[in-house]
């Protein structure tokens, strides 16, 4: 019997918090016996705080990275350039069959760009999402990464249309579903009960009777003090009716202090928490009466959980969460936020349904397509 070929080596890249939940099921599927693939992991170090990184690796059982580039924070140019400089020798040394990147952060485009210029195929997971807003750094990262990718895996049907419009050959595109929802389904039974997280933070009482969950970190919402003040003022008003739990991203924490808004928050019924681990956040989301956010991933997670979501942005790159899920896009106008909030409190919000392929098996589909693709590439 001929010896079976050695598994194709795929170098997977993560950098920032939203990448970690996407890579966990991919590493598991690629490293499963018989997948025809073997995965190693590079962490760029874009997110480095224990709360932003270590808790996720441990809770999601992501293997320790084979390589940690240790890049850290900086301007977009500095951060992207440093990742590129440090990633290139890793490719020289490891010579993978392909490089896999996820999502839309600076690490995604930086590593994709280095790989494609060295003639190494690039695989993009969560391809084709478009907000239409080129002032978002993530939108630029998405468009450019998709243009230089050899295989593109999508989470929702709209993505294929976006890619076709941008001239990407349909045969490179595979609609496999959502790896972040793989992670959600895999971990839901282990989510930390909200009561435990609230008790650990010294809060019980009225928060235990029902709360809303708030996250904010987009530059467009937190970098301009006037926008941040307007948002927090309305959220403070809402908190007097529905107490809010607010895990604060490091960038937002700095901006709140710099804008002199600590007192406004202290006078509201808003529980400030440090960035939460994955299981704690999952428990908070699942049990919240509603979620207010500017995150991309949380729009999808709330749809999967059936929890009403108010998105504090003017657009979304994830329209399925609005069309089929529980999401409502309101922007930052206080009256619009209030209207959406009142609709949810009075009417319960959109019920939503599960989008196609958000079934916990996206990573398995990716592994199957990729193994076939690697076999054909070897045979050619």
Interface with ligand UD1 (CB under 6 A), residue total: 18
Residue of the chain from 9, 38, 48, 150 that contacts ligand UD1 (CB under 6 A): 48
- The Cα–Cα gap between 284 and 274 comes to 13
What are the backbone angles phi and psi of residue 116, rounded to the nearest 5°? -60, -35
Residue of the chain from 250, 274, 306, 334 that contacts ligand UD1 (CB under 6 A): 250
Residue of the chain from 31, 49, 88, 144 that contacts ligand UD1 (CB under 6 A): 49
Structure tokens that stand for 116 in this block: 């494609």
Stretch that binds ligand UD1, among 40-48, 63-71, 278-286, 322-330 (CB under 6 A): 40-48
Q: C-alpha angle 338/326/283, rounded to 5°?
A: 95
Binding flag, residue 101, ligand UD1 (CB under 6 A): no
Give min distance, CB of 137 to ligand UD1, in A. Answer: 4
Q: Which residue lies nearer to ligand UD1 by CB, 99 or 238?
A: 99
Q: What share of the chain is helix, strand, coil (3-state, %, to 5)?
A: 50, 15, 35
Residue with tokens 């993009």: 124
Q: Which residue lies nearer to ligand UD1 by CB, 140 or 265?
A: 140
Residue of the chain from 40, 44, 59, 106 that contacts ligand UD1 (CB under 6 A): 106
Give min distance, CB of 218 to ligand UD1, in A. Answer: 8
Q: Is 273 helix (H, G, I), strand (E, B) or coil?
A: strand
Phi-psi region of 348 (alpha: psi -120 to 50; beta: other; left: phi over 0): left
Q: 17-31 and 362-379 helices cross at what angle (nearest 10)?
A: 60
Binding flag, residue 124, ligand UD1 (CB under 6 A): no
Please state the separation of Cα 170 from the chain's center in Å.
25
- How many residues does the structure list for the chain? 380
Residue of the chain from 105, 168, 292, 330 that contacts ligand UD1 (CB under 6 A): 105
Residue of the chain from 5, 54, 73, 165 that contacts ligand UD1 (CB under 6 A): 73
Q: Which distant-in-sequence residues (6+ apart) come within 8 Å of 347 by Cβ? A: none
Give min distance, CB of 211 to ligand UD1, in A. Answer: 22
Across the strands, what pairs with 310? 292, 328
| DSSP label of 245 | E
Stretch that binds ligand UD1, among 170-178, 245-253, 323-331, 343-351 (CB under 6 A): 245-253
Give min distance, CB of 20 to ligand UD1, in A. Answer: 10
Over the window 313 to 342, marking each residue x when it contacts ligand UD1 by CB under 6 A and - when it does not, the resulting string is ------------------------------
Residue of the chain from 28, 47, 124, 130 that contacts ligand UD1 (CB under 6 A): 47
Give counts: helices (H), strands (E), the chain.
18, 13
Binding flag, residue 17, ligand UD1 (CB under 6 A): yes
Binding flag, residue 46, ligand UD1 (CB under 6 A): yes
CB-CB contact of 168 with 146 (8 Å)? yes
Stretch that binds ligand UD1, among 13-21, 54-62, 155-163, 277-285 (CB under 6 A): 13-21
Question: Taking Cα atoms as reference points, which of 277, 290, 178 lies closest to residue 245?
Answer: 290
Residue with tokens 């230089």: 148
Q: Which residue lies nearer to ligand UD1 by CB, 102 or 320?
A: 102
Binding flag, residue 217, ligand UD1 (CB under 6 A): yes
Stretch that binds ligand UD1, among 46-54, 171-179, 198-206, 351-359 (CB under 6 A): 46-54
Across the strands, what pairs with 321? none
Instruction: Enumerate the active-site residues.
Output: 217
Binding flag, residue 137, ligand UD1 (CB under 6 A): yes
Residue with tokens 């391809």: 127
Q: Which residue lies nearer to ligand UD1 by CB, 218 or 357?
A: 218
Tell me the pairing of strands 151-154 and 173-175. parallel
Give min distance, CB of 55 to ligand UD1, in A. Answer: 11
Please state the separation of Cα 377 from the chain's center in Å.
30
Residues at the interface with ligand UD1 (CB under 6 A): 16-18, 46-49, 52, 73, 104-106, 137-138, 217, 249-251
């Amino acid at each position: 019997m001929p010896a079976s070929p050695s598994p194709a080596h795929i170098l997977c890249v993560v950098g920032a918090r939203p990448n970690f939940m996407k890579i966990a099921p991919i590493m598991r599927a690629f490293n499963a016996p018989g997948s025809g693939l073997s995965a190693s992991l590079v962490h760029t170090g874009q997110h480095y705080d224990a709360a932003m990184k270590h808790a996720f690796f441990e809770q999601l059982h992501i293997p320790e990275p084979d390589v940690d580039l240790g890049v850290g924070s900086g301007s977009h140019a500095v951060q992207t350039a440093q990742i590129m400089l440090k990633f290139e020798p890793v490719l020289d040394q490891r010579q993978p069959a392909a490089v896999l990147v996820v999502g839309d952060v600076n690490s995604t485009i930086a590593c994709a760009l280095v790989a494609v210029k060295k003639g190494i195929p690039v695989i993009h997971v969560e391809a084709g999402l478009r907000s239409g807003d080129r002032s978002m750094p993530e939108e630029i990262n998405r468009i450019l990464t998709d243009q230089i990718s050899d295989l593109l895996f999508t989470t929702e049907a709209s993505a294929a249309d976006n890619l076709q419009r941008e001239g990407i050959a349909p045969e490179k595109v595979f609609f496999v579903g959502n790896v972040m929802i793989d992670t959600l389904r895999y971990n839901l039974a282990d989510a930390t009960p909200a009561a435990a997280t609230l008790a650990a933070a010294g809060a019980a009482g009225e928060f235990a009777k029902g709360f809303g969950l708030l996250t904010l970190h987009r530059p467009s919402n937190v970098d301009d003090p006037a926008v941040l003040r307007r948002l927090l003022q309305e959220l403070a008003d809402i908190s007097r009716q529905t107490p809010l739990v607010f895990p604060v991203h490091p960038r937002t924490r700095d901006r709140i202090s710099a804008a002199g808004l600590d007192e406004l928050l202290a006078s509201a019924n808003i529980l400030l928490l440090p960035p939460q681990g994955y299981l704690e956040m999952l428990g908070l989301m699942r049990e919240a009466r509603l979620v207010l956010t500017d995150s991309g991933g949380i729009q999808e997670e709330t749809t999967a959980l059936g929890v009403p979501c108010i998105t504090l942005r003017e657009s979304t790159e994830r329209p399925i969460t609005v069309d089929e899920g529980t999401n409502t896009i309101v922007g930052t106008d206080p009256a619009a936020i209030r209207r959406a909030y009142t609709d949810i409190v009075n009417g319960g919000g959109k019920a939503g349904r599960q989008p196609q392929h958000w079934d916990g098996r996206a990573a398995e589909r990716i592994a199957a397509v990729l193994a076939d693709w690697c076999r054909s590439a070897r045979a050619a």
